[in-house]
Amino acid sequence: MLDSLQQFGYDRAYELLRAKRAYCPECGVLLNLPTKFPGEAEMIVCHHCSWRGEALSLLDFLGNEKELRDQPEGSKIQRRDEADGSVAWLMPASNRANALLVLGIGWSSFVGYLVYAMHHTGELPDSALPFAIPIAGIGLVLACFGVRKMLMESLIVLSNQEICLIQRVFGRVKRKQLDREAELKVERYLAYASNNRPVFGVRVYDSNGSDLKFGVRLRKDEVSWMVSQLKSALARQSTQVASKKPVVDKRSTTVPQEKLSFPKGIDTRDLTLRNLGDGGFSISSKEKLAGMFLWVALILAVMVSLVYFASDLGMEDADSMSPIVASIFYSASFLCLIVGFIRLGRRYYFEFSGATVKSSRSKFGRSYGVREFSKSDFHNCSITHCGRVNKESRYRVMLEGANRSLMLAHFETFEHATEIESRVLEWMTR
């Protein structure tokens, strides 16, 4: 009986190990684990560095990366302590070529040489040259992203009020911050795997589901050092703030009005949930389907052009497409292009106050389509599943009524969707 229970525990622990993906403690390469638990005496061997160890011993390394107190040798991260108690870390540009830059330049060079050679020999007519430009442009786009990644500087500023990530490249500054009203946590996360080697970054997140991610281009020991630095700085500043809090007279029954406000809400680039006066709140969400329509239009136009002009491109054995069928596909591509441009830059606004809700739209800062509804027009707020991103579910929030419905948010995480739902339901029952 005891042996069977022990074996059951081993099997469940091994299933957890396979689900979390185990990496070699020495070199960091993804380990190829057997499908079933190999047994206590069997050793797992790393094919890269020949590390040997028991399978269950790898559980000790899941989420327990060794934190570094001293800055790694050769690290270019610069730390600065300000007089007001805030701390800043500057991660300078790497100035090193990366995979995106090499791939983009290689792709554009290959396509450019191929087009030049085919056009020079007469295999590629002049009428087909415009259709080769988007194909070569893919490499230029990848190269631009590679240059941006190579020249980007990142600055982390941690103060008593917020933690801010500032990224600067080509004179443009991108800023994102998290308020410290909610408890902040720091962890190392797996960004992606390259050649079976994990690439880690630093993630700072709060209980509202908002987070900051950075440090993917840092070395593994630099990521561990940054995690240790942020944890210690957060703990030290929290202790200083707690020591400065005034003593509250417990006999007093008067509660300040500002203490009765709701939680901070949501503040991301694509979604905001802000508190208004008298218990009201506003929701602002960004249109997320514009890019999809534009990409579908581009891909559809390129594919149809390649098939329709196959004979002009020198592909003699290719099947021909009739002009009617080609015109239908071109019309669909043009329709997707129009829909994408109509939705591009659009934001949706909802303002809940008292017994009314106002809805409006804006495009590039210009507001239009203002409508006002009564609370009695709606009877429920629901969440429905609408898709996945990187195997993570996304949800839609609907305010439902007998004659009309309002889509408050679309393609949002479960945490954001449930927070919006709870606020709306509270407003409906008020």
pLDDT per position as a tens digit, 322-357: 778 888 888 888 898 898 888 888 889 999 988 899
Hey, which residues does 267 pair with through a beta bridge? 272
Architecture of domain 263-287+345-428: Roll (2.30)
Ordered DSSP codes for 96-140: ---HHHHHHHHHHHHHHHHHHHHHHTTSS-GGGHHHHHHHHHHHH
Rounded-to-integer distance, Cα 206 and Cα 188, Å: 14
Q: Is the pLDDT of residue 72 over 70?
A: yes
Query: What six digits make up the tokens of 194?
Result: 């390259």
Give all strands of the β-sheet with 211-214 in edge-to-edge order: 185-194, 197-205, 211-214
Nearest C-alpha neighbor of 188 from the set 157, 219, 224:
224
Distance from the Cα of residue 34 to its chain's centroid: 32
The predicted structure's pLDDT at residue 169: 82
The predicted structure's pLDDT at residue 277: 75
The arithmetic mean of pLDDT across residues 387-400, rounded, is 82
Class of domain 78-93+152-241 (CATH, top level) = mainly beta
pLDDT tens-place string over residues 294-319: 989 888 888 888 777 766 666 655 56
Q: Return the higher-pLDDT residue of 8 and 201.
A: 201
Q: Is the pLDDT of residue 201 over 90?
A: no
Q: Return the higher-pLDDT residue of 412 and 4.
A: 412
* Long-range contacts of the stretch 119-127 (C-beta < 8 A, 24+): 123/313, 123/314, 124/312, 124/313, 124/314, 125/312, 127/309, 127/312
The predicted structure's pLDDT at residue 48: 67
Q: Which of 136-145, 315-324, 336-345, 381-390 shows the lowest mean pLDDT across its residues?
A: 315-324
DSSP 3-state of 158 = strand
Instruction: Report the chain's mean pLDDT, rounded to a whole number.
Output: 78
The arithmetic mean of pLDDT across residues 146-173, rounded, is 86
Q: Is the pLDDT of residue 285 over 50?
A: yes
Q: Is the pLDDT of residue 261 over 50?
A: no
Domains 78-93+152-241 and 263-287+345-428 share a fold: yes
The predicted structure's pLDDT at residue 193: 63
The predicted structure's pLDDT at residue 352: 92
The predicted structure's pLDDT at residue 25: 63
CB contact at 8 A, 69 and 103: no
Helices (H), 183-289: 220-243
pLDDT tens-place string over residues 16-55: 666 656 667 666 666 767 776 666 556 777 766 777 777 6
The predicted structure's pLDDT at residue 322: 76
The predicted structure's pLDDT at residue 260: 38
pLDDT level of residue 59 (50, 70, 90 thresholds): low
Ordered DSSP codes for 270-302: SEEEEE-GGG-EEEEEE--SHHHHHHHHHHHHH
The predicted structure's pLDDT at residue 287: 87
CB contact at 8 A, 212 and 218: no
CB contact at 8 A, 340 and 290: yes
Prediction pTM value: 0.48
Q: Is the pLDDT of residue 178 over 50?
A: yes
pLDDT tens-place string over residues 220-258: 888 888 888 888 888 887 776 555 555 444 444 443 434
Domain ranges of the chain: 2-61, 78-93+152-241, 99-150, 263-287+345-428, 290-341
The predicted structure's pLDDT at residue 283: 92
The predicted structure's pLDDT at residue 399: 92
The predicted structure's pLDDT at residue 350: 93
Hey, which residues does 271 pair with through a beta bridge? 285
The predicted structure's pLDDT at residue 250: 43
pLDDT tens-place string over residues 85-123: 888 999 888 888 888 888 889 988 888 888 888 877 877
The arithmetic mean of pLDDT across residues 180-187, rounded, is 83
The predicted structure's pLDDT at residue 57: 63
